[in-house]
Amino acid sequence: MVFLQNIWWYLVLIGVMILVHELGHYWAARFFDVKIEAFSFGFGPRLFGFKRGETDFRFCAILFGGYVKMAGEQFGDMTDPGDQNVQADPRNFLSKPRWQRMIISFAGPAINLVLAVGLLTGLFTQHYLRVPLPHSPIVGVVLPNGAAYQAGIREGDQVVRIDDIQNPTWEDVVMKEIAGARQSMSVVVKRDGQLLHFSVTPVYDEKLGAGQAGWMQESQVQVAGYVKGNDAAEKAGLQKGDVLVSIDGKPLRSASRLQEIIEQTKGNPFELTYSRNGVLHQVSLTPAQRDVEGQQRWMIGVLLEQPMEVVKLPLGEAFTESCRRNVQNAKLIFKFLEGIAERRMSPKSIEGPFRIAQMSGQAAREGAIPFIELMAGVSLNLAIFNLLPIPILDGGVILMLLIEMLLRRDLDLKVKEAVLKVGFVFLMVVVVFVLYNDLSKMLPPG
């Protein structure tokens, strides 16, 4: 049942992406009066469809993408723009000025960008999770063996600069960290009133496919509820929404720090300071030992959550935040591609259709909000991928048109055919790689 759900939601997701992308090409071509012979969902043999006017709207066997076939375009055999038949037909794609052909090629990725921005804008007008992201954040967790600890960063340090970003938020820090695997980052922190300079080099995490420095932002430790079978916190009067401040005077800068300090008590009672409605309170607690995934751990019986609020942004603010989020994600994609090119990061973290199907089903089961966020992310990735200067993709077509505009003449037909074949082979290699990569992640080892 889960497998079928994954397939269904993948088809919904990819169907919307194909429809929107190809509609961009279709509308632009119609605007410039180019004859459109086919609008296809998928590649390969035609399964079914209908004809409206001069266009065959079809569904094909391989639902891996789609295309709009315009008069003058030939798959596997390019048409010579100088051919008399091409020049005689004013509605032929190749008879149109290069700037018009460039707009038609760009229209597909462009409408994917519009979709990504539009989806998040609509979502943020109804549901926007506001997470505390102060400037110059304080480090709340530093893993002992992490890159940040080895560089000299310590819990309680305030990050005032990272590379060229002054007074960053933790989001700025994370973006630098994720995309900076095996690349040194300049970090300036304030400690006891002094500015200290460090060089942090995130390691590459194979599981996450991203850089990791082993640090986290300071965050409030807030009570979300109680753990069944351990009533120490409940008996002490702790309530949902209370913010845990310190244990025996030791500040709590993260949930992981709370657990670490509780383990150090070895079951002895301690004084807990917490805040309720801005007022500090103290209570004595004695942890109890419980089995957690086969390990005995000292606990006080509370569930924790990070303080967040759900708000509805006005349309203007929602649009601005959507643009900011998409620009941030686009930068991360390009940084990731740069990391692959420099061999600092592994291409194995690229997700293919099988993994996207898994993610689609999981997001849909969690609700409309995760699915919309996934759809926006896939749309942005599709736009950027199609704009890469790879022959056979929109970016490759745009690049060749730009070269021809600079040369003020058409490239030799044999050169175009050779470039197209190389691009096709490269694309097929990428497809095979991502399919194999997806299967290797999904199948059990061995």
Rounded Cα distance, 173 and 143, in Å: 16
144 CB-contact burial (10 Å; exposed 0-12 / middle 13-18 / buried 19+): exposed
pLDDT in tens, the chain (446 residues): 788 888 889 888 988 888 899 999 999 999 999 999 999 888 788 889 999 989 999 988 876 678 888 987 754 334 445 555 555 678 898 889 999 999 999 999 999 999 999 999 999 999 988 777 789 999 988 998 899 999 999 989 999 999 999 999 998 999 899 888 889 999 999 999 999 999 999 999 887 788 899 998 888 888 888 877 667 788 888 888 889 899 888 888 888 788 888 888 888 888 999 999 889 999 998 888 877 767 788 888 888 877 777 888 999 999 999 999 999 899 888 888 888 888 887 777 788 788 888 889 989 998 899 999 999 999 999 999 999 988 888 999 999 999 999 998 988 888 888 888 888 888 888 888 888 887 887 776 65
pTM score over 0.75: no
Q: Is 186 helix (H, G, I), strand (E, B) or coil?
A: strand
pLDDT value, residue 161: 96
Inter-residue contact 15 to 356 (CB < 8 Å): no
Rounded Cα distance, 339 and 380, in Å: 19
SS3 annotation, 232-271: HHHHCCCCCCCEEEEECCEECCCHHHHHHHHHHHCCCCEE
Q: How many CA atoms lie within 13 A of 392 on its CB side?
A: 16
Place of tokens 């030791």: 250
Q: Is 24 helix (H, G, I), strand (E, B) or coil?
A: helix
Rounded Cα distance, 374 and 9, in Å: 11
> Which domains does the chain carry?
2-125+361-442 (no CATH), 139-217 (2.30.42.10), 221-306 (2.30.42.10)
Rounded Cα distance, 6 and 154, in Å: 43
Rounded Cα distance, 305 and 308, in Å: 9
Distance of CA 196 to the CA centre of its chain: 33
| Torsion angles phi and psi, residue 440, rounded to 5 | -65, -30
Instruction: Return the bridge partners of 280, or none.
Output: 275
For residue 138, give the DSSP letter: B
Rounded Cα distance, 224 and 304, in Å: 5
Q: For the chain, state the CA radius of gyration.
A: 28
Rounded Cα distance, 48 and 22, in Å: 18
For residue 53, give the DSSP letter: T
